[in-house]
Copies of this chain bind each other. A is one copy, B any other.
Amino acid sequence: MSHLFKRLSSTATVTIKSTPSKAHHHAPLPSSSFPAGYLLTGVHAGVKKKAGVLDLGIILSTSKLTSAAACFTRNAFKAAPVLVSDEILTKNGGRARAIVVNSGCANAVTGRQGMDDAWAMVRATDALLPPSAQENKNQHETLVMSTGVIGQNLPISKILPGITNTAPPTLAADFDAWERAAQAFMTTDTFPKLRARTFTLRGTQYRLAGMDKGAGMIHPDMGPASTTLHATLLGAILTDAPVSPRSLQNALTYAVERSFNSISVDGDMSTNDTVVVLANGAAAPPGTEEIDEAVDPEGYEVFKNELTAFAVDLAKLVVRDGEGATKFVTVTVKGAPSYKDAHSIASRISTSALVKTALYGEDANWGRILAATGSVPLSPIEKTTPTITPNKVSVSFIPGDGSQALPVLVAGEPENVDEVRAKQILEQEEFGVLVDLGMGTEEATYWTCDFSYEYVRINGDYRS
Contact = CB atoms under 8 A, between A and B. Distances in A.
User: Majority SS of interface residues in chain A?
Assistant: loop
A454 B461 contact: no
- How big is the A interface, by class? 35 or more
A352 interface: yes
A34 interface: no
B224 A375 contact: no
A225 B13 contact: no
A223 B461 CA distance: 10
Interface string A211-226: 0000000011111111
A358 B218 CA distance: 13
Interface in A299-331: 323-324
Contacts of A367: 109, 150-151, 226-229
A368 interface: yes
Contacts of A229: 354, 367-368, 370-371
A402 interface: no
A228 B4 CA distance: 28
Interface stretch (A74-82, A88-96, A135-143, A199-207): A74-82
A452 interface: yes
Given A219-B459, A221-B460, A21 B3 contact: no
Interface of A: 3-21, 23, 25-28, 74-78, 109, 111, 150-151, 190-191, 219-230, 266-271, 323-324, 348, 352-354, 357-358, 361, 363-368, 370-375, 377, 387-388, 390, 393, 409, 412-414, 417, 419, 422-423, 451-452, 454-461
